[in-house]
Amino acid sequence: MGNDVTMYDEEQDMQMRAQSSNLNEELGQVEYVFSDKTGTLTANIMEFKKFSAGGRSYGKGVKPTKKQEENVNFYDPELDAVLGDKGHEDHDALMRVILFLASCHTIIIDQGSYNSSSPDELALVNAAKQFGYEFIDKDTEDNVVILNKETQEKYIYKLLGTCEFSSDRKRQSCIF
């Protein structure tokens, strides 16, 4: 399914791919299909453009000049300045947010690429990757492994639990 040549979006001039194919074996058991308008207006596309950390807002809302990760449309030269200056008053808060982006998700790595049931998670994890902190995988003990691409230092966090996203909570939480 991931290599289906008919999954092509002419409007965006790009090959599309399935976000998740883990329900295929259950499709034959479906008797009724109910749907709502979720994703209808947004085309179920998420782009990372802006965020805030430590009381400071990042993302200028202008078209980026350099190549971006998938689902990321971010430009702000101030981000690099704060990230590069460990003495900056907002450095620690920014680092925490980027590490949260890289670690708080349910993405799995399938054949070298991120696989998620949600384009939101892809956008957040790819933003962290663009900022220099890449989700590598979970190790055999279910620890989340994040790589600082500049220093090659690995951050390993023990995942103690996940509170899945629900429409009541409108959020997902991970406990490390």
pLDDT tens digits, 64-84:
988 999 999 999 999 999 999
Residue 148 covered by a domain: yes
- Give SS3 for 162: strand
| SS3 assignment, position 81 | helix
Whole-number pLDDT of residue 100: 94
Q: Is residue 158 part of a domain?
A: yes
25 secondary structure, DSSP code = G
Q: Is residue 75 part of a domain?
A: yes
Per-residue pLDDT reduced to its tens digit, 26-35: 666 767 666 5
Asked if 95 and 149 touch (Cβ cutoff 8 Å), the reply is no
Domain count within the chain: 1
CA angle 59, 61, 66 (to 5 degrees): 75
**pLDDT band at residue 171 using 50, 70 and 90 as cut-offs:** confident
Pairing relationship of beta strands 14-15 and 8-9 according to DSSP bridges: antiparallel
What pLDDT digit, counting tens, does each position of 111-131 carry? 888 998 788 889 999 999 999
As annotated, the active-site residues are: 36
Q: Kindly report the average pLDDT of the chain as a whole number.
A: 85
The pLDDT of residue 110 is: 87
- Please state, in angstroms and as integers, the Cα–Cα distance from residue 87 to each residue in 91, 93, 131, following that order: 7, 12, 18
Is 36 a domain residue?
no
What is the reported pTM?
Answer: 0.74
Summarised one tens digit per residue, pLDDT across range 82-102 is: 999 999 999 999 999 999 999
Q: Is residue 32 part of a domain?
A: no
Range of the domain at 55: 42-175
The answer to whether the CB of 134 falls within 8 A of the CB of 149 is yes
Of 2-11, 53-62, 126-135, the range with the lowest mean pLDDT is 2-11
Residues 111 and 54 sit within 8 Å (Cβ to Cβ): no
| 8 A C-beta contact, residue 105 and residue 48 | no
**Model confidence band, residue 2 (pLDDT cutoffs 50, 70, 90):** low
What pLDDT, on a 0 to 100 scale, did the predictor assign at position 50?
Answer: 95
Residue 57 lies inside a defined structural domain of this protein: yes
pLDDT band at 24 (very low <50, low <70, confident <90, very high): low
d(CA 170, CA 158): 24
Per-residue pLDDT, averaged over 131-136, amounts to 96
Q: In this predicted structure, what is the pLDDT of residue 38?
A: 56
- Nearest Cα neighbor of 80 from 70, 167, 153, 64 is 64
Phi-psi region of 143 (alpha: psi -120 to 50; beta: other; left: phi over 0): beta
Let me know if residue 92 belongs to a domain: yes
